[in-house]
A and B are shown apart, each in its own frame.
Chain A
Amino acid sequence: MTFLVVGLTFALYIGIAIWARASTTKDFYVAGAHIHPVANGMATAADWMSAASFISMAGLIAFMGYGGSLFLMGWTGGYVLLAMLLAPYLRKFGKFTVPEFIGDRYYSKTARIVAVICLIVASVTYVIGQMKGIGVAFSRFLELDYNNGLVIGMAIVFIYAVLGGMKGITYTQIAQYCVLIFAYTIPAIFISLALTGVPIPQLGLGSTMSGSEVYLLDRLDQTLRDIGFADYTTMARISHLNMFVYTMSLMIGTAGLPHVIIRFFTVPKVKDARSSAGWALVFIAILYTTAPGVAAMARLNLIETINGSEGGDYMVYEERPSWVRNWEKTGLLAMEDKNGDGRIQYSADPETNELTKVDRDIMVLANPEIAGLPNWVIALVAAGGLAAALSTAAGLLLAISSAISHDLLKGVFMPEINEKQELLASRIAMAFAILLAGYLGFNPPDFAAGTVALAFGLAASSIFPVLMMGIFNKNMNKEGAIAGMVAGLGVTLLYVFQHKGIMFIASTSFMGDMPQNWFFGIEPNAFGAIGAVVNFAVAYGVSKVTAPPPDHIQHLVEDIRIPHGAGGPVADH
């Protein structure tokens, strides 16, 4: 069943890709110009929502409670910044890659190279997160352990990305969006109906349990309290300060991630860049406002399946349901009957808790099985998760490979290479990126969404500040921009590596991932916002003591600020 549904959806994407390509090869680069902002918004939403949003986020929220809201606010609030601070102006500028803008605005090849490095660091980290999600999905559906699932996932991502161009086709992404949103909301609706009798999860989460006067969230708080956990609705993530910084980091990271920004380079008009961001957020919000319902209901179902709905009626290990058996095979779920009574007790106390391992990233995929939904729903969720992970991974890999082949080789080091060599270089770069990300994915620094959050921190600290100053500060010069990017990325990487290990290899961390060593109690995933502040400050300071940018750059900035005179996007090759 799973294979059938996953296979059908893949056939659909490839079919659309072939159909759309046949009719539009002629104007491949301006294809975006014919696309309505609503359709572009839907495609952007598919591009943007990855394994982190689909597979991982609700699982993390299920265990973080209120603290998990930082993902919800952080990954949507960035679109407000994008629509007001970047998208319309970058669209007016009319180039295709982010390093290209930085190179031109700061009249410097060095700035362009530094931007490429920032882009690669952030994107590779992002791909590690996708690999984790893909590994989880494949390990479950092929009934393998996680590492083997990851190897198969790497192979499929490689084929998918090398098929190439596919992700650039808006219609494929619209289809992916439909599969993804359908796969996410259908089980949520079923579960919400079963628990509360309200079919809309956004409302169900705030409703009473079916056949009772008790609100679902109060019931969840009570159930968690009974087994020794903190209340779901008030459990903060480490501290309010940490949540504040983490949320900010995700927001500005969203606005600084190159694969999102370039979506707005190809809309027909400056005006459309603004509204397209709004439409993208509408389609994203459908999933993001459903996620909290999925999270809370999944947590409640999990506890009640194991501890019994009234508590005390614990699950008999030998009679465990098939979803437990299946996930045990992946090594991502583990139970241990510590007191030898043949039953499994779940509690907050590590001494007596017998649900010894629940990888957060399995929650969304396991959720329909835990709730006992029909097989086709379970298969649909698998297809949706893979659609989300593959489309984003392919998009990021294309961004990485084009940064290397287009910006670095063609743009700076080897301007004489022909298009064929450029293409070959980009394929090789892509293969390397997959191997590197896959290798690091064997021991990911965090759950998928946490790893992706690190990527956002890196983008926030390096790319967003220079883009914003490039538009809003006419006097920002190349010295300031380069120093700012280097300082912002450097500070963030240093902080992340000292706690998470160099290149995320935990044994090389020299300060340990220990809260008492954290700066003001801010966790490494959240540090991008601090890196961004450093970036702004260093850039401002350096620009004050070095020569102002030449006149033509100041005119260029004035020109970017007004919509009038925007032409179509121009490719410089």
Chain B
Amino acid sequence: MSKNQNYWQANMRLIAFCLSIWFVVSFLFGIILVDVLNSVSLGGYKLGFWFANQGSIYVFVALIFFYANRMGKLDREHDVHEDKDD
């Protein structure tokens, strides 16, 4: 049982890590700090506006694949993956 608990703990840590990035790029950069970041330019974009309009979406896509990949590894390390032999 503790083996599965370790797996769950590791999963929770990974989720916490990913969701902090999720929060930072959208809510923090895109909304709360938008006026501060807008003083920086990215081409013709103000940076805060860019995060709200474009950047956060790219990060979301990357986050999901990162999570899926790391979880695939965790499944194996903790021996709870689907296609193992019983």
- Name A residues whose Cβ lies closer than 8 Å to a Cβ of B: 66, 69, 72-73, 76-77, 79-81, 83-85, 88, 202-203, 205-208, 215-218, 233-234, 240, 243-244, 247-248, 269-271, 274-275, 277-278, 281-282, 285, 288-289, 292, 558, 561-566
Interface-centre pick from A205, A278, A289 (highest chain B CB count, 10 A): A278
Query: B9-35 CB contact bits vs A (8 Å, 1 = yes)?
Result: 001000100110010001100111011
Q: Shortest distance in angstroms between B57's beta carbon and chain A's nearest beta carbon?
A: 5
Contacts of A216 in B (CB 8 A): 44
CA of A497 to CA of B38, assembled, Å: 37
Shortest Cβ distance from A233 into B: residue: B49
B18, B71, B72: which has the most chain A beta carbons within 10 Å? B71
The A/B interface has a contact count, at CB < 8 Å, of 140
Pair A73/B32 contact, Cβ less than 8 Å: no
A353 CB, min distance to chain B CBs, angstroms? 26
Report the Cα distance A277→B65, complex, angstroms: 9
Determine which of B38, B49, B68 lies in contact with A271 in the assembled complex, contact meaning CB atoms within 8 Å.
B68
A240 x B57 contact (CB < 8 A): no
B71 & A72 in contact (Cβ 8 Å cutoff):
no
- A83 to B60 Cα, complex, angstroms: 11
Q: How long is the Cα–Cα vector from A202 to B55 in the complex, in angstroms?
A: 11
Given contacts A69-B52, A247-B31, contact A206 B44 (CB under 8 A): yes
Report whether A563 and B60 are in contact in the complex, using a CB–CB cutoff of 8 Å: no
A285 CA to B65 CA, complexed, in Å:
14
Write the B40-60 contact mask toward A (1 if CB under 8 angstroms, else 0).
Answer: 001111100110111011101
Inter-chain contacts of B50 with A (CB < 8 A): 206
Chain A residues with CB under 8 Å of B38's CB are 233-234
Among A79, A207, A240, A562, the residue within 8 A (CB) of B43 is: A207
A84 touches B61 (CB 8 A): no
Q: Do B82 and A269 have beta carbons less than 8 Å apart?
A: yes
Chain A residue nearest to B43 in the complex (CB)? A206
Secondary structure dominating the interface of B: helix
**B15 to A, closest residue via Cβ:** A84
B57 near A288 with CB under 8 A, answer: yes
| CB-nearest residue of chain A to B74 | A563
Using A73-B30, A292-B53 as known contacts, say yes or no to A274 and B64 having CB atoms under 8 A apart.
yes
Chain B interface: which size bin? 35 or more
B44 touches A217 (CB 8 A): yes
A-B residue pairs, 10 tightest by C-beta: A215-B44, A69-B52, A278-B64, A274-B68, A206-B43, A206-B44, A562-B80, A206-B45, A292-B53, A275-B68
Q: Are B44 and A77 in contact (CB under 8 A)?
A: no
B84 contacts A564, CB within 8 Å? yes
Distance in angstroms between the alpha carbons of A282 and B43 in the assembled complex: 24
Given A240-B31, A271-B75: A76 touches B82 (CB 8 Å cut-off): no
Query: Chain B contacts of A202 at CB under 8 A?
Result: 54
B44 and A218 form a contact (CB under 8 A): yes
Give Cα A81 to B19, complex, Å.
Answer: 8
- Given A218-B44, A278-B64, A282-B61, A292:B54 Cβ within 8 A: yes
A285 engages B57 (CB within 8 Å): yes
A380 smallest CB distance to B (angstroms): 24
| 6 pairs from A and B in contact (CB 8 Å cutoff) | A72-B56, A73-B56, A80-B19, A81-B19, A234-B49, A561-B11
Residues of B within 8 A of A215 (CB): 43-44
Chain B residue numbers with a CB within 8 Å of A282 are 61
CB < 8 Å neighbour of B53 from A72, A243, A269, A274: A72
Known: A73-B30, A285-B61. A205 touches B84 (CB 8 A): no
Could you say which residues of chain A place their CB within 8 Å of the CB of B80?
Answer: 562-564
Complex contacts, A77 vs chain B, CB 8 Å? 22, 26, 56, 60
Task: Please pick, from A207, A208, A289, A566, the residue contacting B82 in the complex, using a CB distance under 8 A.
Answer: A566
- Alpha-carbon separation in the docked complex, A563 to B77 (Å): 13
In the bound complex, how far is the Cα of B63 from the Cα of A561, in angstroms?
20
Q: How far is the CA of A243 from the CA of B29 in the complex (A)?
A: 13
Give the residue name and chain of the A residue nearest to B5 (CB).
A558
User: Are B53 and A84 in contact, CB atoms less than 8 angstroms apart?
Assistant: no
Which residues does chain A contribute within 8 Å of B15, judged by CB atoms? 84-85
